[in-house]
Amino acid sequence: MTRRHLLALFAPPPPPEGSGPLRLRVPALVSKGEPANIEATVDGKPAKVELLKGPQDDLLILLVLDFSGDISYIEAARTGLEAAVKELPANAWATVLRAQDGLRVLQDPTGQAEELISTINTYTGGGKAGLLDTVEDAAKLADRLLVKTATRVALLYCTDGSIYNYREDYTNPVINSSDSRDLSRRFPDQLVREKTQKMISSLLQREAPIWIVHIHYRVDAINEAYQRGLQQMAEATGGEAAICRGMADIPSAISNAMLRIREHWSVFLELPPGKSRNIVVGLNAPECDMTYRQRFSVKR
Amino acid sequence: MQKSVPLAGWILLLPCSLWAQGELQKAAEEFKAATRELGLRADSPARSAGKRQYPWQTWHGRLSYNLRNDVLDAVPHEIAQRGGGKNLLRRGQFGFNVAGPVIGKSTFASLSYEGVRERIGRNSLRTVAIAPERTGDFSQTVDSAGDPQQIFDPATTRLNPDFNPARPVSTSNLEYIRQPFPGRVIPSSRLDPVAMRGVSLYPLPNANAGPFFRNNYFVVSPETNKADGIIFKLDHTLDEKSRLSLSLSATNGFAVASRLMPTIADPGANDRTYSARRGTVEHILTLSPRTINTLTLDLATDRSDASRPGEVFPDYRFSGNYLGMGRANPVQLTAHNTYSLSDGYSTRIGKHSLRAVARFTHYQVHAFLPHYPQGRYTFGPGFTSLPGINNTGYSFASFLLGAAEYSEASVFASPSYWRRNTASLVLRDQYEVTKRLNLTLSGNMDISTPRTEKYNRISTVRLDVINPANGRPGALVAGGAAQPVRVRPGASVGFAWNPTGNPKSVVRGSAGLSFQAVPVYTSQWGTQGFNGTPTSISTNTQLAPAILLRNGMPALERPLPDLRLDFANNTVADLVEPNATQPFYQSASLSYERELPGQLIVAGTLAHSRGQRLFVSNSGVNLNAIPLENLRFRDELNNESFRRELRPYPQYQRFDVFSAWPIGNYKRDAGSVRVEKRSTSGLGLTATYEVSRQMDDYSGPYGVQDFYNRRAEWALTAYNIPHRVSLSYAYELPIGSKKSLLAYNDWRRYLVDGWSISGMSTLLSGEPIALRPQFNNTGGLVEALRVNVVPGIDPNVSSRTPDLWFNPAAFDNPENFTLGDGPRTHPTLRNPASQNHDLSVTKRFAIDTERALELQATGFNFVNTANWTNPDPVIGPASTPNVNAGRIIGSVGGRVIQVGLRLSF
């Protein structure tokens, strides 16, 4: 792996954004091998791989805390985050934000685990869930960092939010309780699905991968749809989501998410000319098992 | 674990690391600049005027409209079977929601409105008197076997000089001799004029579902509903640690009930004007990262005014199958107010997450519910029967003679204003014993004051007070609280355990003990003396009526309030359980859940629950029941004065305990398997199968046979559904410009983008069949007589069809003055299973990233499945069998389509 450090040391800086052809950063997760000699296509046409950044390259993790529920679950999440932050290598810094009442910075980027842990431990949750209200802003921020710096950037949401605990209404509550023949709520998850589909469309315009660890699984139909929507949102960005079904699941889910973020790759592509807004990316590396984000909406 | 790096490596890594630190430092600086610019930091500058966001840029919401119209629907099976061509359904449901910040980001408001305008057809298949019967001609009337129905002239009654009292009454040993009406026609001069006025308001048959002339009246009548409601929410962040939220809701509506007959004699429900108001204020204070306090104030009020002005009619009820006239509670005014203040405190100490919730609630229930202001009259076959002989006499014939066997009226002078206070404290400790084992302990304590009345207009029979009329225990006592203050504790324990250390496998268990609070009932139960119920009882329903319609109801003998101890004598007296004994529940469950590869989750659960001293209604308990060993007196029991002396409290007919006597028991065992499949490709699927067995000693449509032997009542719960399968799914179709199939980027994307389907299917096995005998000749001792089981005959049939669902020959009507030996609900016979499948298809048109239009078509019972109605459970004697026993006469259900449009922004 030292070889990659050397290569990184002498590698050219990332091309400046805003001039020349459009570029795309494709997040990828490698389960076997190393993505050397990678070949790429965009909408089936060959695309130039400009740069490849992997686990040994710099990484900035935007950790967004969105806790508003049971403190026993929150405490388990704090324990998990503390352990995961302690394991961050020197090339990975993290910043801490909160999601209630809009995105707010709690801790600027640092590689000092103590600072991060202190911020996590002094974070006061409570109130309303904020993931759906903030994830677009957070992705926008992450994209800006991706474009303007040479680091890999990833978002990690730790949330315990119930869809019933949002300020905005996604649950379509019964308004006329005497309306016994109301069938419009027979499928109560439709507003949630509509919202998450809308957000997926929006997040497809972003490049930073999003990981979500939801620490409190809920079994009702609307929360099921919400939790499923979170998974779709995360995977649409090239990230992953874990829904913890018990407290014992929480530390390992956070640890696993941190590990996957640290190990994710970022493949810089030069977009070939074209008019298509919705593009499909293909990556191929010999002797390498790789999953990667395939769909992007780009502004040409 | 990180690998150690050799010295040479460190030399090479050092500059590399420094370079990396530089890039990360640069990223950190960029992060600060970006977050400052985006307003995400405390030190962010205020937004410039040029970047000001207007409300329409930050507010979100939706407009929606849902339409249902019978043009879109299948004709319901029950209507098609009666020759109908369509149902009536017009329904519009419309609304909006807007939500967004109102003052910076700290205050957020949301407003929702919804209105409903509906007109829907309600169908009902009933039995009414055929045309000749309305004039007293019963020459065409047949019994359940199809034989001519015998009716006898009570005016010809005389003692049989040859009667042998040592032998049972039978056709060969009659106690009374009575002549049949010649030609089975009641002379017109004998018809009661009041009854005939009722007949003029009674509908004629219009159907012939059968058997014979039963199920001969089919009506489809519109029911309308108009409702408007709003919900307003305000959420304000006071500072980093405290938040205040307000929620207000209001709904008003007017519902016009369907009519079973288009006259003032309609027995259908009342029209209803109603309103509901809710208000909640919640303050959340985060005292520290591990301590949160939540203070909540809830106010709620519901009001209902149900009546049909101008429609005042007595309540006529016919034993047997005939549709009655008039209705109970023709005027219903109720209001429920609830005021609740609660405080929840959560903190974390070491490995303990502690939560305490204290709540105080004040309930008010206001009710004006006179049951029968114009009187209730019940008509049985006895007065036109050959005394002591089954299958003689006819309730409608008794009605035409104006001879009610029981009547009562409600003289209610004032409404009741009920009050109750409850204080509760709940403590919970979630203890992380190890990383793999979490334990939850919970305890609660409720203190409830008794139900009181604002003006102390409250009363109950007390069984320890001597009645001055007969010197026996049991007298009406007015004033004061009828029950003591009750303290009820509760406790539960639960655990979650990862047996192998694998977080994808969880074993969960729980066990709990709890008491059920005594509710504040919506009624005027417990106000006798302040309100009166003049009651008339037949001295012998076969020989003399309680009252003749032409004579009207007798008035109260004494003016109200009448608080003398004997006021409720000879009535169905209100009895409040004196000790406020509370139902007690125990439950335990054990589950194992495993997350498998492919985001497949499988869970199995075993659950057991039982309840003791559950509240039962008047059909489940009768403290004034005559012990059944008195059936030996046989026909003497038809004499009310004889029967009265056999009652434990002879001064009362029975007691009204208003579904609040703690004597019922139940036990339920269930096992279930749940499979969930989540897929980021847009598929979500949950399938559940449950098998259960629930037993109790009180449920069912008919009541209890022996009130003194509850063990003998232990049987399957009447609504126990042993097998239940449900499937729900949602799927974002993998087509469209951002999906794997049909990924068009041109104009065709408008056609293929945004399709999804949702569905729900439910399959239920049938409930146990509750059989009942056609004739109950027990002198009024047994209210819910069971059938006899015929030994050696299989009740099941080889092939169940609507023509024969079970074998009625396996059962028999008990002999006169004997009990049935069959179970209250049959252990193996089940009503038909049912199924329902709903499907919704949605097409989303994205206008831009914020706005979208959704079209939705939903099919309820979209496969248009017909579910069989239940088979006829009435078993007649071998001499007069019910030819319809075990048969199913129809099916119900029909596809309903709803089309919806929603614009979200």
Minimal Cα–Cα distance from A48 to chain B, Å? 23
**What is the C-alpha to C-alpha distance for residues B75 and B71, in angstroms, rounded to an integer?**
9
pLDDT band (50, 70, 90) for residue A127: confident
pLDDT of residue A152 exceeding 50, the answer is yes
Among B23, B118, B738, the residue with its CB nearest the CB of A181 is B118
Among A54-58, A147-151, B837-841, where is mean pLDDT lowest?
A: A147-151
> Can you name the residues that pair with B736 across neighbouring β-strands?
none
pLDDT category at B55 given cuts 50, 70, 90 is low
Kind and range of the H or E element at A281?
Answer: strand A278-284
Average pLDDT over residues B504-519: 92
Query: Could you tell me if residue A106 is inside a domain?
Result: yes
Query: Which of B808, B815, B863, B870 has the alpha carbon at shortest distance from B835?
Result: B863
Lookup: tokens for B560: 């109200």
Q: Give the one of B28, B97, B838 whose C-beta lies nearest to A108's C-beta.
A: B28
What is residue B741's DSSP assignment? B
pLDDT at A160 exceeding the cut of 70: yes
pLDDT tens per residue, range B147-182: 999 999 999 999 999 999 999 999 999 999 999 999
- B37 in contact with chain A, both atoms CB, cutoff 8 A: no
Residues of chain A positioned with their CB less than 8 A from the CB of B288:
124
Nearest 10 degrees: Cα torsion A228, A231, A235, A236:
50
Residue among B20, B54, B56, B5 nearest B905 (CA): B56
Helix (H) or strand (E) holding B761: strand B755-764
Q: Are residues A113 and A69 in the same domain?
A: yes
**Cβ of A235 and B680 within 8 Å?**
yes
- Do B28 and A179 lie within an 8 Å CB cutoff? no
Of A148, A194, A232, the CB nearest to B904: A194
Residue B6 has pLDDT above 80, yes or no: no
Task: Look at residue A1 and tell me if it is in a domain.
Answer: no
| Best mutation target, A91, A175, A291, to test chain B (most B CBs within 10 A) | A175
Residue A219 confidence (pLDDT) above 70: yes
Residues A242-291: tens digit of each pLDDT: 999 888 889 999 999 999 999 999 999 998 877 777 888 999 988 889 99
How many residues are listed for chain B in this entry?
905
A280 in reach of chain B (CB within 8 A): yes
- Asked if residue A135 belongs to a domain, the reply is yes
* Chain A residues lying within 8 Å of B275, measured CB to CB: none
Q: Is B251 within 8 Å of A124 when comparing Cβ atoms?
A: no
Distance from CA of B289 to the nearest CA of A (A): 4
Residue A228 in domain:
yes
Residue B561: asked if its preceding bond is cis (omega within 30°), the reply is yes
pLDDT of residue B52: 58
Window 423-442 of B: residues touching A by CB (8 A cutoff) are 430, 432, 435-436, 438
Q: Name every chain B residue with its beta carbon within 8 A of the beta carbon of A141.
A: 31, 34-35, 38, 40
Q: What is the mean pLDDT of residues B465-482?
A: 93
**Domain, as residue range, for A253:** 59-171+187-263
Q: Mutate which of A60, A63, A71, A164 to disrupt the B interface (most B C-beta within 10 Å)?
A: A71
pLDDT at B387 > cutoff 50: yes
Model confidence at A2: pLDDT above 50: no
A4 falls within a domain: no
Per-residue model confidence (pLDDT) at position B87: 86
The closest of B287, B295, B296 to B347, measured between CA atoms, is B287
Asked if pLDDT for residue A19 goes beyond 60, the answer is: no
* Average pLDDT of the segment spanning B76-97: 91
From B780's Cα to the closest Cα of chain A, the distance in A is: 39
Q: Let me know the angle formed at the C-alpha of B96 by B102 and B304, rounded to the nearest 5 degrees.
A: 105
Q: Do A71 and B290 touch (CB under 8 A)?
A: yes
Kindly state whether residues A49 and A66 are assigned to the same domain. Answer: no
Per-residue pLDDT band at A101 (split at 50, 70, 90):
confident
Cα–Cα distance, B264 to B308 (Å, whole number): 9
Terminal-residue alpha carbon distance, chain B:
50
Residue B130 has a pLDDT of 97
Q: CA–CA separation, B380 vs B106, rounded Å?
A: 70
Spatial separation of the C-alpha atoms in residues B172 and B154, rounded to whole Å: 19
Q: Residues of B numbered 847-886 whose beta carbons fall under 8 angstroms of chain A's beta carbons: which are they?
A: 849-850, 852, 854, 856, 858, 860
Residue A151 and residue A113 share a domain: yes
pLDDT band at A21 (very low <50, low <70, confident <90, very high): low
One domain for residues A208 and A64: yes
Touching check for A175 and chain B: CB below 8 Å? yes
Shared-domain flag, residues A220 and A87 = yes
A8-12, A115-119, B817-821, B888-892: least confident range: A8-12
- Report pLDDT for A300: 65
Q: Is A110 on the interface with B (CB under 8 A)?
A: yes
Q: What is the pLDDT of residue A65?
A: 97
> Could you read off the pLDDT of B655-670 as tens digits, one per residue?
999 999 999 999 999 9
Residues A119 and A140 in one domain: yes
Rounded-to-integer distance, Cα B347 and Cα A74, Å: 11
Mutate to test the interface with A, among B24, B287, B731, B747 (most CBs of A within 10 A): B24
**B99 inside 8 A of chain A by CB:** yes
Please tell me whether the interface predicted TM-score (ipTM) of this complex is above 0.85.
yes
A182 within domain boundaries: no
SS3 annotation, B793-855: CCCCCCCCECCECCCHHHEECCCCCCCCCCCCCCCCCECCCEEEEEEEEEEEEECCCCCEEEE
B339-367: per-residue pLDDT in tens?
Answer: 999 999 999 999 999 999 999 999 999 99
Regarding whether A95 and A44 lie in a shared domain, the answer is no
Confidence of residue B323 (pLDDT cuts 50, 70, 90): very high
Q: What is the pLDDT of residue B54?
A: 66
Among candidate residues B276, B374, B401, B384, the one with its CA nearest the CA of residue B316? B374
CATH number for the domain spanning A113: value is 3.40.50.410
Inside any domain, residue A11: no
C-alpha distances in Å from residue A299, one per residue of B11, B373, B600 = 44, 76, 37
Average pLDDT over residues B762-782: 96
Q: Is B685 a residue whose pLDDT tops 60? A: yes
Same-domain pairing of A127 and A232: yes
- Asked whether residue A105 falls in the same domain as residue A236, the answer is yes
Q: Is A45 on the interface with B (CB under 8 A)?
A: no
- B579 HSE (CA, 13 A, CB side): 9
Q: Would residue A2 count as lying in a domain?
A: no
Q: How confident is the model at residue B51 (pLDDT cuts 50, 70, 90)?
A: low
Calculate helix-pair angle for B7-37, A2-10, nearest 10 degrees.
Answer: 60
> Same domain for A64 and A128?
yes
Please indicate if any CB of chain B lies within 8 Å of the CB of A19. Answer: no
Task: Look at chain A and report how many structural domains it folds into.
Answer: 2
Q: Is A89 on the interface with B (CB under 8 A)?
A: yes
Average pLDDT over residues B431-440: 92
End-to-end Cα, chain A, rounded Å: 37
The burial class, CB within 10 Å (0-12 / 13-18 / 19+), for B146 is exposed
Of B510, B460, B502, nearest in space to B482 by CA: B460
Q: How far is CA B531 from CA B216, B405, B411, B415, B469, in A?
A: 40, 23, 6, 9, 20
Q: Are residues A271 and A150 in the same domain?
A: no
Q: What is the mean pLDDT of residues B355-382?
A: 96
Cβ atoms B285, B268 nearer than 8 A: no
A101 and A127 share one domain: yes
| Consecutive H or E run containing B356 | strand B352-368
Largest interatomic CA distance in chain B: 129
Query: Is A107 within 8 Å of A119 (Cβ atoms)?
Result: yes
Segment B526-566, tens digit of pLDDT: 999 999 999 999 999 999 999 999 999 888 888 999 999 99
Q: What pLDDT was estimated at residue B504?
A: 84
